[in-house]
Amino acid sequence: MKWKVSILWLMLAFSGVCQAQTVQVEEKEQSVNGLFRQGQQLTVQLDQKFVEKYWKDYLSKQPGKVKLRKGILSLEGVVLDTISSKPLTIFSVVGSHATGSYVWWSLDTEAGSISKNSEPEVYAAAEGFLKSFGAKLYKKDIFRQINQAEDVLQKTKAEQERVVKQANDIQASIEKNKKRKLELEAELVRNAEELMQLEADVENNAKQQQASQQQVLEMEKAVETVRAKLRAVK
């Protein structure tokens, strides 16, 4: 029963994700270390912990060291070629709200924060970077669900094999029981025949005992007759 529930859950979860695969990026202000910073926010319909883990891994692959302090990810002096050739300082926060999980970040250069108005081309490239990450997230989640579904499938197949084997074992037990029943029935027939023979032997033995006893009496008379003759000789 548990594996049937797991399959149903996976099907519902998978269909839900497929229907809600939207990647939304908007300009958003966020408080970082007590200061409000302008940045971009990606929203996805995925679990926050899942998003946070892969976002940190994703940033870790970029040049520079990722620091995490009080829920704030930061990188300094990182160059993202797909966004800008200038070194960037990145601040990022991962969280959740009513419409899903979000990844917020702000990008700073020596000239200041990047915004839609200040550097529209760089802003658009950064937006594309976030959207690409959002698409990768959905793919990772789908692959994760596929792996889970395959695990459930393997367990389902194993359960099916167990049930089939159980059916074969039961059938084998039935055949064994039938064979034993026939053997017992044959043994009962032999037992009944043996009983009849024994009863006949008892009856025959009784007759033999009677005949033997008669012979003993006759022999005793014969011996006594011979003894009488012996006594008569003087």
| Spans of all domains in the chain | 2-149
Q: What is the pLDDT of residues 154-189, one digit of tens each?
A: 999 999 999 999 999 999 999 999 999 999 999 999
Percent of the chain with pLDDT over 90: 44
Closest CA to 105 of 23, 46, 22, 26: 26
Mean pLDDT of the chain, nearest integer = 85
Decide if 101 contacts 20 (C-beta within 8 A). Answer: no
With the C-alpha atoms ordered 144, 146, 151, 152, is the resulting torsion angle positive or negative? positive
The one-letter amino acid code at 174 reads I
Percent of the chain with pLDDT over 70: 90
pLDDT surpasses 50 at 27: yes
Lowest mean pLDDT among 7-16, 65-74, 90-99: 7-16
- For the beta carbon of residue 40, count every other beta carbon within 10 angstroms: 24
Closest CA to 10 of 145, 138, 153: 145
With the C-alpha atoms ordered 180, 182, 185, 187, is the resulting torsion angle positive or negative? negative
At the topology level of CATH, where does 2-149 sit?
Answer: TATA-Binding Protein (3.30.310)
The per-residue pLDDT for 64 is 67
What is the length of the chain? 234
pLDDT surpasses 70 at 13: no
Q: Which position has the token pair 């915004």?
A: 115
With the C-alpha atoms ordered 79, 84, 89, 94, is the resulting torsion angle positive or negative? negative
